[in-house]
Amino acid sequence: MGGQSLAIPVIPSAEALAGGRRGGLIARMFGRQKSDAGDLDGAFHDISDPRLGRTILKDMSNYLKGCLPAPWKATAQLFSYMFKTKQNVYIRGSRESADQPMVYSVQIAFSGCGGLAEVSSDIACHWADLYYRANRNQVHESVLKPFGLMPHHNTSLYDGWIETSKLFLPTPDFGYAEFTSDASQSELAARFGVQPDWKRFELDGAEFDVPDPEPAEQLQEWLEANGVELMRDNQCRCQMCSPDFDVGAFYADFAR
The minimum distance between CB 161 and Zn ion, in angstroms, equals 9
Q: Binding string, 113-152, against Zn ion, x = CB under 5 A?
A: ----------------------------------------
Cβ distance to Zn ion smaller for residue 117 or 149:
117
Closer to Zn ion by Cβ: residue 35 or 234: 234
CB of 181 to Zn ion, least distance (A): 12
Query: 175: which residues sit within 8 A by CB, 6+ positions away?
Result: 74, 77, 78, 81, 119, 120, 203, 204, 207
**Smaller CB distance to Zn ion: residue 230 or 241?**
241
As measured in angstroms, the least distance from the Cβ of 168 to Zn ion is: 5
Are the C-beta atoms of residues 119 and 176 closer than 8 Å to each other? yes
Site for Zn ion in 209-248 (CB under 5 A): 236, 238, 241
- What is d(CA 154, CA 100) in angstroms, rounded to the nearest whole number? 17
The site that binds Zn ion (CB under 5 A) totals a number of residues, namely 3
Cα angle 48, 74, 233; round to 5: 100
Residue 202 Ramachandran class (φ > 0 left, ψ -120 to 50 alpha, else beta): beta
Distance between CA atoms of residues 53 and 47, nearest Å = 11
The C-alpha atoms of residue 179 and residue 185 are separated, in whole angstroms, by 10
Q: Cβ 166 to Zn ion, closest distance in Å? A: 9
Asked if 82 touches Zn ion (CB under 5 A), the answer is no
| Residue placing its CB nearer to Zn ion in the complex, 104 or 179 | 179
In the complex, least distance from residue 209 CB atom to Zn ion, rounded to whole angstroms: 25
Q: How far apart are CA 240 and CA 123, in angstroms?
A: 11
| CA distance linking residue 125 with residue 115, whole number of Å | 16
Q: How far is the CB of 126 from Zn ion (least distance, A)?
A: 6
Residue 122, classed as helix, strand or coil, is helix
Which of 82, 238 has the CB closer to Zn ion?
Answer: 238
> For Zn ion, which is the closer residue by CB, 56 or 231?
231
Binding site for Zn ion (CB under 5 A): 236, 238, 241
